[in-house]
């Protein structure tokens, strides 16, 4: 998500911001602008570049804009964000990162009271709650609505006259504020600021509500912060290496995870290689600590999207074949230590191990820079169901056999906490590790939708 207020070409800045955030979702993209009197939006399927061209950006005139790249969920243009609603009391646009865990329940209640839904998203529930609130000021309407929703939400909303930013009480998804000239901007990741020449100011705190309008920035709380629980997978896999979250640089965190993994694995090999892109930093850290050369053993075809977030298993499997190639000269006749960030279903790891062996590797030792993923995520990351998670149903030795590796090592939960449990200043920063430990930072409802089945009942 990206948002900006007080810039004469807000739509173009948002386009560039979304470009830097493209790794967070490739299924669709949208931008809504305000010229102070009305909101106008354009959205479509595919990459930011597929959806927007010069002409479309020129048609989006205004000083304020918000944008979104779509990660997962049911298809349909109506589900692509920002969602935009018009009513006699004014318009509202919403971008949401995360997953509302009591959305089915709230939707049912709203429908019983006469609400008609236009999309299948949990985000629309929030729009209805905001619009139905009896309060006059937008910030009070939003506060009232947020008191009813539970789960993970980093939100950027916009009316004709202001941006409204909120972070859930556990701070599960990253969100920060920056400044470019006199304009304020908001982004899911700090890498968006570099591209537009903005300066990072600070992270949005859990339970915080921020209003930005022509009078400046107004900061307050809508909730006491709960147990601080930033998503660990943001550090391990999801975010870009040049982003910082809660004072921790992603590349540095991954490198440290790799170093810790090398200590725990204590394994012999001739070369260390990382699965591009998210495991390169960990592989470099592993190689440094193990004293084994780091080599580029796998090459990524840059023009294919990320396999992990393609919506179906069939597409995922096709994607792997198109995406990676082994560097035969590097791996032939060598004992290869292959560092990857996670094993979800095991299919990708199996294919890569086979690929390396077919290219002549004598042994392939798989080292994973996170613990076994045994539980589904209800907070917006598609890590599948219990049944599909290989580590939920198999021991480490069984997984090793399934993926065809000569050895398999996962980072321990303790090792992971040692590395990313504190910020660069040594301050404790709480993390969500529920997909590894089963300890969810919020309550979970029996009908809580998983992120990939965000089509609501
Ligand atoms: S359950 Fe896992 S993927 Fe989901 S928010 Fe927590 S750490 Fe992140």
Using pLDDT thresholds of 50, 70 and 90, give the confidence band for residue 89: confident
Give the model confidence (pLDDT) of 278-302 as tens digits: 999 999 999 999 999 999 999 987 7
CB 95 within 8 A of CB 1: yes
Pocket, ligand 1, Cβ cutoff 6 A: 172, 231-233, 377, 379, 381, 383, 432-435
Would you give the DSSP letter of residue 239? S
Q: How much is the pLDDT for 224?
A: 78
Highest mean pLDDT out of 111-115, 116-120, 231-235, 311-315:
231-235
Q: Is the pLDDT of residue 271 over 50?
A: yes
Q: Hey, which of 376, 434, 437, 442 would you mutate to test ligand 1's pocket, going by the most ligand atoms within 8 Å of its Cβ? A: 434
Which residue's alpha carbon is at the smallest distance from atom 5 of ligand 1? 231
Residue 454 has pLDDT above 60, yes or no: no
- pLDDT band at 33; cut points 50, 70, 90: very high
Sequence length of the chain is 457
**Which residues, other chains included, contact 149 with Cβ-Cβ below 8 Å and sequence gap of 6+?**
100, 102, 103, 106, 125, 126, 129
Angle between helices 250-265 and 413-420 (to 10 degrees): 150
Best mean pLDDT range from 101-105, 223-227, 321-325: 101-105
Q: What is the mean pLDDT of the segment spanning 325-350?
A: 95
Which of 128-137, 181-190, 446-455 has the weakest average pLDDT?
A: 446-455
pLDDT of the residue at 32: 98
Q: Kindly give the number of the ligand 1 atom that is closest to the alpha carbon of 434.
A: 1
Q: What's the pLDDT at 4?
A: 98
> From the centroid of its chain, how far is CA 186?
15
Measured CA to CA, the distance from residue 281 to residue 258 in angstroms comes to 7
- Mean pLDDT calculated for residue range 42-62: 95
Query: Which atom in ligand 1 lies closest to the alpha carbon of residue 231?
Result: 8
Which residue has its alpha carbon closest to ligand 1 atom 8?
231
Which range in 67-81, 130-144, 278-292, 300-314 is most confidently predicted, on average pLDDT? 278-292
CB 166 within 8 A of CB 153: yes
Give the residue, by CA position, lying nearest to ligand 1 atom 4: 377
Show the 3-state SS of 70-115: ECCCCCCHHHCCCEEEEECCEEEEEEEEEEECCHHHHHHHHHHCCC
pLDDT in tens, 162-175: 999 999 999 999 99
State the pTM of this model: 0.91
Cross-strand pairs, 42: 31
Q: Is the pLDDT of residue 249 over 80?
A: yes
Which pLDDT value is given to residue 456?
A: 38
User: Would strands 176-180 and 183-187 be described as parallel, antiparallel, or unpaired?
Assistant: antiparallel
Distance (Å) of CA 103 to CA 109, 110, 123, 148: 10, 10, 8, 10
Q: Of all residues in the chain, what percent carry a pLDDT higher than 70? A: 90
Question: Band of the pLDDT at 405, cuts 50, 70, 90?
Answer: very high
- Closest ligand 1 atom to 441 CA: 6
The pLDDT value recorded for residue 453 is 46
% of the chain exceeding 90 in pLDDT? 76
Ligand 1 centre and the CA of 185: distance in Å?
26
Residue spans of beta strands (DSSP E) within 46-82: 64-70
Overall average pLDDT of the 381-395 stretch:
83
| pLDDT for 71 | 84
**Amino acid 184: pLDDT:** 98
* 8 A C-beta contact, residue 93 and residue 43: no
Q: Report residue 424: phi and psi, to 5°.
A: -65, -20
Separation between Cα atoms, residue 394 and residue 396, nearest integer Å: 7
Pairing of strands 39-45, 208-213: unpaired
Distance CA 309, CA 306 (A): 6
- Per-chain mean pLDDT for the chain: 90
Three-state SS for 425? coil
Q: How many of the other CB atoms lie within 10 Å of CB of 112?
A: 8
């Amino acid at each position: 998500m990206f948002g900006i207020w007080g810039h004469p070409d807000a739509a173009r800045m948002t386009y560039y911001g979304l470009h830097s955030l493209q790794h967070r979702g490739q299924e669709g993209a949208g931008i809504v602008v305000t010229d102070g009197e009305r909101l106008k939006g354009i959205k479509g399927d595919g990459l930011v570049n597929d959806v927007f061209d010069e002409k479309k950006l020129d048609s989006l005139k205004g000083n304020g804009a918000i944008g979104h790249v779509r990660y997962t969920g049911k298809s349909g243009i109506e589900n692509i964000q920002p969602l935009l609603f018009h009513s006699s009391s004014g318009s509202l646009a919403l971008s949401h990162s995360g997953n509302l865990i009591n959305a089915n329940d709230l939707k049912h209640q709203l429908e019983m009271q006469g609400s008609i839904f236009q999309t299948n998203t949990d985000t629309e529930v929030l729009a209805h709650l905001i619009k139905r609130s009896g309060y006059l000021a937008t910030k009070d309407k939003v506060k009232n609505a947020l008191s009813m929703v539970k789960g993970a939400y980093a939100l950027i909303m916009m009316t004709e006259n202001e941006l409204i930013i909120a972070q859930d009480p556990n701070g599960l998804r990253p969100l920060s504020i920056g400044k470019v000239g006199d304009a304020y901007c908001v982004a899911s990741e700090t890498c968006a600021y570099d591209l537009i020449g903005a300066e990072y100011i600070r992270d949005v705190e859990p339970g915080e509500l921020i209003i930005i309008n022509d009078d400046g920035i107004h900061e307050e709380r809508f909730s006491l912060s709960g147990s601080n629980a930033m998503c660990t997978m943001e550090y391990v896999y999801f975010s870009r290496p040049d982003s910082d979250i809660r004072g921790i640089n992603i590349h540095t965190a991954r490198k440290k995870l790799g170093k810790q993994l090398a200590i725990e694995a204590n394994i012999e090999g001739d070369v260390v290689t990382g699965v591009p892109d998210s495991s390169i930093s960990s592989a470099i850290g592993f190689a440094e600590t193990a004293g084994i050369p780091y080599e580029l053993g796998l090459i990524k075809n840059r023009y294919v999207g990320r396999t992990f977030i393609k919506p179906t298993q069939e597409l995922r499997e096709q994607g792997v074949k198109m995406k990676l190639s082994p560097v035969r000269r590097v791996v032939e006749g060598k004992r290869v230590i292959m560092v990857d960030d996670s094993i979800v279903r095991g299919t990708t790891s199996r294919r890569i191990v086979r690929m390396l062996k077919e290219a002549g590797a004598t042994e392939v030792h798989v080292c994973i820079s996170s613990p076994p993923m045994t539980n589904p995520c209800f907070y917006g990351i598609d890590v599948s169901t219990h049944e599909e998670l290989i580590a939920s149903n198999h021991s480490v030795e069984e997984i090793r056999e399934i993926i065809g590796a000569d050895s398999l090592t996962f980072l321990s939960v303790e090792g992971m906490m040692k590395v990313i449990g504190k910020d660069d200043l040594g301050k404790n920063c709480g993390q969500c590790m529920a997909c590894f430990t089963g300890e969810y930072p919020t309550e979970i409802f029996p009908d809580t939708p998983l992120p990939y089945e965000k089509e609501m009942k």
